[in-house]
Structure 1
């Protein structure tokens, strides 16, 4: 499963204006099947991993912009 999570970085869905909105679950479920990873475990765990990845990438983006996520703050 860890190998699949590491490969998930190449299966990100991006918003039109930039930013990560999640994983391409169809691609990751196909990768899991090809790797012999239990599909039930994959379907159960990937959404939790996805939430952490998206949150982490959003925080990094905010830090890089220097706004700390406070929209409209001067």
Structure 2
């Protein structure tokens, strides 16, 4: 989480907004990663 907030700050994003959005972003990242891993297993 610290790295994500540091990245947000470097990009000029308000840390409070970034902290609010991180759970949703993380959920999408995990879902997409799982899809890629499943595709490699079946492909």
TM-score range, shorter chain: 0.7 to 0.9
Decide which structure has the larger Cα Rg and report it. 1
The Cα of 1:35 is off from its aligned counterpart by 2.5
More helix by share: 2
Q: Note the alpha carbon deviations across 1:22-57, whole angstroms, 9 max, x for none.
A: xxx211101212222111110011210111111111
Unaligned runs of 5+ in 2: none
Unaligned runs of 5+ in 1: 1-24, 67-74
Count how many residue pairs are aligned between Structure 1 and Structure 2. 42
Please give the TM-score of this superposition, normalised by the length of structure 1.
Answer: 0.50
Give every structure 1 segment of 4 or more consecutive aligned residues whose post-TM-superposition deviation is greater than 2 Å.
none
Question: RMSD in angstroms over aligned alpha carbons?
Answer: 1.2
SS of 1:36's partner is coil
- Matches of 1:56 and 1:63, distance apart in 2: 11
More strand by share: 1
